[in-house]
Chains A and B, each alone.
Chain A
């Protein structure tokens, strides 16, 4: 009872009940967890290596402004973030902006191989660091939108995210263990996809699972949800590139 009251107070204060939320890696099988930790057995590292090559490629490369990719340490832990023009950007959106505005190139496109590769390579530089997204100021209204989406029952199966990822985390849904639904491992290599994919691709699978309308990759709803998921994960480690079933 006291625990429930404390959780309600934390929610009122604008953050999730962090004590009840466990890192996604805790819900992996021991085999998958070991493989996630071992780059030599983790297929996601193919994208990391490709992304690191892209980082340095061309005359107006990422490196020509930012220096070595090691300068990206900690950046992924702070995304999604609100840009100076008021738009909420996730890491993919930030990279695309750099590409069009700073590098004068056409955008890669959501879920394209080069964008996934660069995102994975940059996110990997924050691996193990605690999530620390801004949730106040300009981010606050986006966080509220994300929370509302998370808490609303939707789809023909009429389910809210939290009914599985809060109320039933750790239990089995068919053969899968339900996690707390954090985005900290994305982009992730999913065995079901047999490739690396973005968090928004995963969210589309969630929407399909409850027979709700699948929203576009990069849609405002999924971006706000991504921020709310990141806020739920505050203080928990970045796991990207993750390895998932």
Chain B
């Protein structure tokens, strides 16, 4: 039932072309989005980019060269040991599927959002390839 709903929502969205369909099993999306292969080095750059994903506004990473990291979300050190790639993928795509009250934004979702700035309307924060790149880097953070 949840699987069908996810596919319907993705298909019904006006920006369906920008959001990849996915299947949630338990608390994970096992299959890479759109069958794409992630690149860890590109993913590291996405995580550190302050203009787009801006992960470090809330999270810290185990890199002493990064100043001023946030403390709203859990530290990402060791996340690759705590969560499977599929669990990380769902938490990036839409954390409210795991916890409806999650403060973390959904990085690959365009539906059910209010008052979105027209410059960003209909576009997810990160595209499918960027999500896969970030997953590929986060799984390397094992301690």
Which A residues are within 8 Å of any B CB, using their own CB?
A: 152-159, 163-164, 167-168, 171-175, 207-208, 211-214
Contact = CB atoms under 8 A, between A and B. Distances in A.
A175 B68 contact: yes
Given A156-B123, A168-B72, 4 more contacts: A156-B121, A164-B103, A174-B68, A174-B69
B69 A213 contact: no
Nearest to B110: A156
Nearest to B106: A158
Nearest to B94: A158
Nearest to A178: B72
A138 B57 CA distance: 40
B28 interface: no
Nearest to B67: A175
B116 A155 contact: yes
Interface string B61-99: 000000111111000000000000000000000001000
29 contacts: A154-B113, A154-B115, A155-B114, A155-B116, A156-B105, A156-B113, A156-B121, A156-B123, A157-B105, A157-B125, A158-B96, A158-B105, A159-B103, A163-B103, A164-B72, A164-B103, A171-B70, A171-B71, A171-B72, A172-B70, A172-B71, A173-B57, A174-B56, A174-B69, A174-B70, A175-B67, A211-B117, A211-B120, A214-B117
A211 B117 CA distance: 5
B37 interface: no
Contacts of B34: none
Contacts of B56: 174
Interface of B: 56-58, 67-72, 96, 103, 105-106, 113-121, 123, 125
Tell me which of B72, B96, B106, B125 has the highest count of chain A C-beta atoms within 10 A of its own C-beta: B72
Contacts, number: 66
B67 to A, nearest CB: 7
The 10 closest A-B pairs by CB, nearest first: A175-B68, A157-B105, A156-B120, A154-B115, A154-B114, A212-B115, A163-B103, A174-B68, A172-B71, A211-B117
A156 B113 CA distance: 7
Given A163-B103, A168-B103, A174-B57, A156 B117 contact: yes
A67 B96 CA distance: 57
A174 B50 CA distance: 10
A241 to B, nearest CB: 27
B115 A158 contact: no
Contacts of A214: 117
B67 A156 contact: no
Contact of A155 (B69, B70, B117, B123): B117
Contacts of B57: 173-174
B76 to A, nearest CB: 15
Contacts of A168: 72, 103
Contacts of A153: 114
Nearest to A221: B115
A173 B70 CA distance: 5
Contacts of A175: 67-68
A145 to B, nearest CB: 14
Contacts of B123: 156
B59 to A, nearest CB: 11
A212 B116 contact: yes
B116 A156 contact: yes
Contacts of B113: 154-156, 158
Nearest to B58: A173
Nearest to B122: A156
Nearest to B60: A172
A211 B72 contact: no
